[in-house]
Amino acid sequence: MHKTLRQWIVAVLNNHPSITRLALCQRAKFEGWLKFELAAYAESKGATKILLEAPSQFANSQRSDLSFTFQGTVYDVELKTPNTNWRMQGVLNKTRPITKNVASVVADAKKLKKNSQHGLVAFVLFPIPSNDSRWEEYLSRIATDLNREINKDDTCIRVCVQLENQNSADAVVCCFPA
């Protein structure tokens, strides 16, 4: 299911190029917007019983960003939109604490593993310079902190976003089972 969820997120980003461009250009997190768009897109693809800020099946105090039933299975999803601080044309220069962003992905994965039978971690790392592989260090850090292997080819896909003045940047969409 993680590959299907990843495809849905890519579709949402591609279906809203202006919003995606604004977020990348300003390094503005867009998790809240993505959650609602993803819920609507999942519903259009046959997901049912969609809940935003869904209570955990196992711990009353824990909530997932999104929960839905798809093909008879209940999935809990944690979403993150960690932003980077790499300098690039067409993107505002802002310092962002990428280390804290990566740590929040790890924390969500641990929470889901403990509190969900079918937890999915999804994040959109942005902006990434085109043809730059430094983002893979963060995926490796997440895998190490979770004490597991996360194969980038199985879990991640790059989305090219056209910015102003012929510039572009990438967003990397990653999804994996908790």
Counting residues of the chain whose pLDDT is more than 70, the rounded percentage is: 95
Alpha carbon of 56 to those of 62, 66, 122, 125, 177: distances in Å? Answer: 5, 10, 17, 26, 16
Stated pTM of the model = 0.92
Which residues does 169 contact at the CB level (< 8 Å), separation at least 6?
24, 88, 90, 91, 126, 127, 128, 129, 130, 160, 161, 163
Counting residues of the chain whose pLDDT is more than 90, the rounded percentage is: 70
Tens digit of each residue's pLDDT (9 = 90 or more) over 44-70: 999 999 999 877 665 555 678 999 999
Domain boundaries, the chain: 2-44+77-177
pLDDT of 157 strictly over 60: yes
Quick one: pLDDT at residue 73? 95
Over residues 138-143, the mean pLDDT reads: 94
Quick one: pLDDT at residue 53? 86
Sign of torsion over alpha carbons 167, 35, 98, 93 = positive
Quick one: pLDDT at residue 69? 95
Over residues 11-29, the mean pLDDT reads: 94
* Residue 139 CA, distance from chain mean position: 12
For all residues of the chain together, what is the average pLDDT? 90
The single-letter code of the amino acid at 59 is A
Over residues 72-99, the mean pLDDT reads: 85
